[in-house]
Amino acid sequence: MVEDGPDLPVPPAWEPPEVMGFGIIGAAGLVVLFTVLTAVIAAFSSPNVPTGPFHGVTAIPGPSTAQTVLEATQWASILFALLPLAALGAVWWQVQGWTDVINDDDENVEEYTKAFGHLLRARLLGNVTMATFCLLIAATTAAVVASFSEDGGQGISTDLIAGYVGESGVGVATCLICASGIWAGLRLRSSVDSTFANGEAEPES
Residue-by-residue DSSP string for 160-192 = HHHHHHHHHHHHHHHHHHHHHHHHHHHHHHHHH
Could you read off the pLDDT of 22-37 as tens digits, one per residue? Answer: 999 999 999 999 999 9
Confidence of residue 129 (pLDDT cuts 50, 70, 90): very high
Confidence of residue 202 (pLDDT cuts 50, 70, 90): very low
pLDDT at 166: 76
Q: Flag whether pLDDT at 191 surpasses 60.
A: yes
The whole-angstrom separation of Cα 69 and Cα 66 is: 5
Nearest to 171 by CA among 140, 132, 133: 140
Angle at 157 between CA 151 and CA 160, to 5 degrees: 45
Of residues 80 and 99, the one with the higher pLDDT is 80
pLDDT at 76: 92
**For the whole model, what pTM was predicted?**
0.80
Q: Flag whether pLDDT at 69 surpasses 70.
A: yes
Domain residue limits, the chain: 16-198
Cα→Cα distances 174→20, 136, 160, 169, 181, Å: 23, 8, 21, 9, 11
The CB-side HSE value for 176 (13 A sphere, CA atoms) comes to 6
pLDDT at 35: 94
Pair 114, 191: CB distance under 8 Å? no
Average pLDDT along the chain: 80
152, with CB counted inside 10 A (0-12, 13-18, 19+), is exposed
* CA-atom Rg of the chain in angstroms: 24
pLDDT at 10: 73
Cα→Cα distances 130→35, 105, 180, 194, Å: 20, 32, 10, 19
Region 43-72 average pLDDT? 66
Q: Flag whether pLDDT at 106 surpasses 90.
A: no
The whole-angstrom separation of Cα 63 and Cα 146 is: 13
